[in-house]
Amino acid sequence: MTSTDTSANPASPDPAASPDPVASPDAAPVMLALHQTALGGPEVLRLTELPRPAPGPGEILVAVHAAGLNPTDFKHRAVSIFLPPPPLTLGWDVSGTVVEAGFGVTLFRPGDEVFGMLPYPHGAGSHAEYVTGPARAFAAKPAGIDHVQAAALPLAALTAWQALVDTADVRAGQRVLIHAAAGGVGHLAVQIAKERGAHVTGTASAPKHDFLRELGADACVDHRTEDFTDTDARYDVVLDAVGGETAARSVSVLRPGGVVVSLLPVTAETRTAAEKAGGRAVGLLVEHDRAGMRAIASLVEAGRLRAHVSGTFPLAEGARAHAQGETGRTTGKLVITVR
């Protein structure tokens, strides 16, 4: 089926007026998606009519209520990194309602509210009215939060969980340094590290320090005016969400046995330097993870983890959301609302 670009049509269907999310899958064979046919700036994104997907074996079809926006969306919109060239629909975070379960799925039924991260990187597609994904990429949405809050969590919270818990095994009494601590991953990492009983230092611009302290940070470093290496403090774990020379410089503040976990590629020189210092430096790529999603949901339900949503945008204004996100000044997360 040939896609239809509706972005220039003032009478384009309103995503908020979509069919009932638990209606029969045959009721709406098409859907609206934030789609692109070329790489480039936010202007390449178009609200486009596409065929609605059907769940395969082991998959569920989800009516998307909200979908988080992450820096990886901006990067993949502009450059082919992990995904093939366009046409493509981006988005990995999703919160919504199950419409249909594919063959072999036993975890969910139509009408269940779920949230999760589509398999990264090749499972993108949540910036649309409907999306399919492996049932085990999802967990039950915590009842105490809405879909916007739930959609802000999966990729960023899983990244923080996999870095701090699965990789670094943060324990009570350890000292943790989190770079870009007020960002999407960072502000959730602060809360997870505190939940594990760590002493947490976060780097962020000075106006965001009060926000970090509200999240539980014990100390803050202004990355604009202070050098995080100019200190006697030593850390068991450093989480680097900045890249560049940050991982390499972070090695100098590691305690023996410590680890730098970077969300960007780590050079051989940095890994060697960390080993010489008695520690290690590793690069992490987030993976879809039902166990991790359930752990995150448990923290949310216990009131010990929350996503800060600094802005929401309807699907039709996804390009504007990308433009705002690319400024690099977002505190917490941006979310695209669909229903």
Q: How high is the pLDDT of residue 28?
A: 53
Angle (deg, nearest 10), helices 154-161 and 184-195: 50
How buried is residue 310: exposed, middle or buried, by Cβ count under 10 Å (0-12/13-18/19+)? middle
pLDDT tens figures, 231-243: 999 999 999 999 8
pLDDT tens figures, 3-32: 444 433 333 343 333 444 444 545 558 999
Q: How high is the pLDDT of residue 111?
A: 98
Q: What is the mean pLDDT of residues 246-271?
A: 96
Q: How high is the pLDDT of residue 7?
A: 39
Domain with CATH 3.40.50.720 in the chain: 156-283
pLDDT tens figures, 121-147: 999 999 999 999 999 999 999 999 999
- In this structure, the dihedral spanned by the alpha carbons of residues 99, 103, 106 and 108, taken in order and rounded to 10 degrees, is -10
Q: How high is the pLDDT of residue 13?
A: 40
CATH code assigned to 156-283: 3.40.50.720
- We find that the CATH architecture of domain 4-153+307-337 is Alpha-Beta Complex (3.90)
Mean pLDDT of the residues in the chain: 92
Query: What is the token pair recorded at 292?
Result: 């991790």
- Is the model's pLDDT at 96 over the cut of 70? yes
Q: What is the mean pLDDT of residues 149-176?
A: 98
What percent of the chain stands above pLDDT 70?
92
Do residues 127 and 336 touch, judged by C-beta distance below 8 A? yes
Q: What is the mean pLDDT of residues 86-102?
A: 98
Do residues 72 and 24 touch, judged by C-beta distance below 8 A? no
> What is the dihedral sign for C-alpha 316, 320, 322, 324?
negative
Q: How high is the pLDDT of residue 29?
A: 87
Lowest model confidence (mean pLDDT) among 8-17, 203-212, 244-253: 8-17
Do residues 164 and 193 touch, judged by C-beta distance below 8 A? yes
Domain with CATH 3.90.180.10 in the chain: 4-153+307-337
> What is the dihedral sign for C-alpha 322, 324, 326, 330?
negative
Spatial CB neighbours of 7, under 8 Å, sequence gap ≥ 6: 46, 47, 48, 316
